[in-house]
A = this chain, B = another copy of it.
């Protein structure tokens, strides 16, 4: 694996687990066994590394999500698949996403208050793409249902992290969506 990839993987792991501002460059270097000189030859600043970690997580998450909900034969089936996947994530049972600590993009947005910064823009773009993906994988197109699914999913992620009880939250989402689906 390239040094650049090593740095991005380590940075993502540490930034996600502890928060961006809680992790210093030196900790990333120590954990990735890369020299500081090498880091700054690949990235101009810590913010650039954060941006790269966000992009890395974005790619991983989108393909994880798509592989979990694609080829559903009904809207209801897609919902079942989606929230079953979220439950695994909340339980930290999915090796692709690692130990659950909420949404990396929400967490990072909370740490960077300027909405025009590249980091905030990347977080915004991620959410836009996730919403699009959900809409695209409803076999029977229904933008309003996609909005509801998306909002419940966002609520589920933050509540699962805050309360620690992901199973309960997933049940509540599925129960809420029960009445809304016309298979």
Partner-B contacts on A (CB < 8 A)? 17-19, 21-22, 101-103, 105-113, 115, 123-124, 127-128, 144, 147-148, 150-156, 158-159, 161-164, 169, 172-173, 175-176, 179-180
Chain A facing B: main interface SS? helix
Instruction: Please give the distance in Å from A166's CB to the nearest CB on chain B.
Output: 12
Q: How far is the CA of A124 from the CA of B160 in the complex (A)?
A: 10
Q: List 25 A-B contacts (CB under 8 A).
A: A18-B113, A19-B21, A19-B112, A21-B111, A103-B158, A105-B162, A108-B110, A110-B110, A110-B111, A124-B162, A124-B163, A124-B164, A128-B163, A144-B172, A144-B175, A144-B176, A147-B172, A147-B176, A148-B152, A151-B152, A151-B156, A152-B155, A153-B155, A179-B179, A179-B180
